[in-house]
Amino acid sequence: MKAGLYAVTSILFLIAVAVATYMINPSTYSFDVFGIHLPSLPIALWVALPVAVLAILSLLHIMFYGTKSFFQNKKLKNDINKIDEAVYWSLIKEPTQVNFNNETLKTKIGLLANSYLDVIKSDKLNTTDKLREVVENIKDIERGEWVDLKKAKFAKHLSQDNPIAVKNEINHIENDDKYAIKVVDFRDKYSDEIVQKALDKITQTQNFFTLKKYAKDIGKDRFFHLLERVREDQENELGFSLDMFKSFMDNYSLDCKDYYRGAEVLFEKLENPEDNLALYKEYASKDDKATAGYLYLLFRYEMLDKVKDVLDEHANDEYKAYRGLLTLKKAKHNIKLDEFINEINACRWV
């Protein structure tokens, strides 16, 4: 019972006791207590007085435990709110130690401080608005969408290597070509994983004019993927040229197969035999691993005498595939180069 209601009820009960007693016996009465003579008072008052003392003590008891219960409930409510906090941190993959006053909650919920929470189904989610919004944003990110985490109001809580933040950055890169360039330009602000994804993206989407200043960062493997785009680019929208080819190649440590693959693209896409041959002659003079590519171009341009001159400069056990093809060509066999030579056997005896 609430203290106020109890006080009112007690007063009414005291009045009823006093009135009833007075109606039965309206006389007065006096007695001594420890030698002290008490004043003469109505019997009704003497009867009501002990009841009043008991009521006051009961009221004090109710108030004491009511106050105690109030503060306990307040602590419990605070702990319940902390459950939302613990769930929130685990949802965003930043589990944090949350201090609970209630020992039971401390035991039951404490595991969240070392756990990630993954929501399987987010539709009709029965939870707080804050947690529901976080779950919806996380699900959007998992679906490959980019979410503005500042507007979502939890960007400041995510560390740079947080899986949600990383996935969201990758989504941003995948959905915005300009952002991919921004990441590469300001790579110091991003993790290596994100920078590598941005380099993948710009290699897949940008032309040579944009990519030229990133040639070294792109790396050899991405460059050769870029050359595959060149082979599919019928209108040369990528801006491929011999100068572009050379400016990229000069940034990498190349092996025989790399030079061979590059020569294939030059022959296929650039109709300037003299320039192509001049470049590969230069490569071969500086790096013997480029000779297989140089021989490839010489065969393509049917310069068999020059092929013989180059082969004569090397040992008989080198470039055996090319030597065999030259023999067949001189014997007037109509054999296509691609049917006899590939990057594997061209470089096998180098």
Q: pLDDT per residue over 103-136, tens digit each?
A: 776 777 777 777 888 888 777 777 888 888 888 9
As a whole number of angstroms, the distance between CA 152 and CA 146 comes to 11
Q: What is the pLDDT of residue 56?
A: 81
As a whole number of angstroms, the distance between CA 229 and CA 214 comes to 17
Among 64, 93, 122, which residue terminates a domain? Answer: 93
- Which one is predicted more confidently, 221 or 102? 221
> Any bridge partners for residue 32, and if so which?
37
Q: Tokens at residue 259, please?
A: 């030079």
Q: What is the pLDDT of residue 76?
A: 66
When mean pLDDT is compared across 118-122, 129-133, 173-177, 322-326, the lowest value belongs to 118-122
Q: What is the pLDDT of residue 89?
A: 83
Buried b (16+ CB within 10 A) or exposed e, 222-244: bbbebbebbeeeeeeebebeeeb
140 within 8 A of 172, measured Cβ to Cβ: no
- Which one is predicted more confidently, 121 or 301? 301
Among 40, 68, 93, which residue terminates a domain? Answer: 93
The DSSP letter of residue 212 is G
Q: Identify whether 48 is part of a domain.
A: yes
Q: What is the pLDDT of residue 1?
A: 56
Q: Identify whether 167 is part of a domain.
A: no
Q: Tokens at residue 291, please?
A: 């000779």
Summarised one tens digit per residue, pLDDT across range 270-284 is 999 999 999 999 999
**33 band by pLDDT with thresholds 50, 70 and 90:** low
Q: Identify whether 330 is part of a domain.
A: yes
Summarised one tens digit per residue, pLDDT across range 227-259 is 999 999 998 999 999 999 999 999 999 999 999
Q: Identify whether 295 is part of a domain.
A: yes
Q: What is the pLDDT of residue 29?
A: 64
Q: What is the pLDDT of residue 38?
A: 67
Among 93, 114, 129, which residue terminates a domain? Answer: 93
Q: Identify whether 122 is part of a domain.
A: no
* Amino acid symbol at 69: S
Which residue from 250, 239, 338, 333 is spatially nearest to 287, judged by alpha carbons?
Answer: 250
As a whole number of angstroms, the distance between CA 43 and CA 323 comes to 137
Q: Tokens at residue 11, please?
A: 């007063």
Q: Identify whether 182 is part of a domain.
A: no
Q: Identify whether 80 is part of a domain.
A: yes
Cβ-based neighbours of 154, under 8 Å, separated by 6 or more: 92, 134, 137
Q: Identify whether 158 is part of a domain.
A: no
293 within 8 A of 254, measured Cβ to Cβ: no
Q: Could you tell me the residue range of the domain that residue 311 belongs to?
A: 254-350
Q: What is the pLDDT of residue 84?
A: 80
Domain count of the fold of the chain = 2
